[in-house]
Amino acid sequence: MADGRFHEQKYRLTQTKLQPVYLIESYGKGDWGLAEGALERAVCNTQIENGFLVQETLSIKETCAYLTFMTRHLKTTYESKTIIGCRKADWTNFKDAGTDAEAHLMFFSDFNDFSVKK
């Protein structure tokens, strides 16, 4: 949070059609270099104001298990859909146009170019 990546990451995640998930790896909790309560306030704001699902893990094993679960969830969600890629310039026209059988998603190259720190 102190170096600005937190807000930058949140912004990039809000630019997708997917439900944003912010994963906090908390194993080995220690001094984060933040004022007391700052992390808790940031988590609450991210959940309430930004509508993110915030997932906290307490070990590397737990993080791996969560990422495995999310991979399976995404596979199940999208394996029966036709994925239609579109450019960033056209994406806002299509982002809510998908049906149960299709999903319009921004090309990764456009998403990456758009979200890279400049």
What mean pLDDT comes out for the span 87-99? 72
pLDDT at 66: 97
Please give the mean pLDDT across all residues of the chain. Answer: 82
Q: Where are the domains of the chain?
A: 1-76, 80-118
Distance CA(10)–CA(54), nearest Å, equals: 11
pLDDT at 1: 60
Contact, 53 vs 21, CB < 8 A? yes
Whether the pLDDT of residue 111 is over 60: the answer is yes
pLDDT per residue over 22-75, tens digit each?
898 886 656 566 777 888 888 899 999 989 999 999 999 999 999 999 999 999
pTM above 0.85, yes or no: no
Beta strands in the chain (DSSP E): 21-25, 53-57, 82-86, 102-106
Distance CA(14)–CA(106), nearest Å, equals: 13
- CATH tag, 1-76: 3.40.50.10130
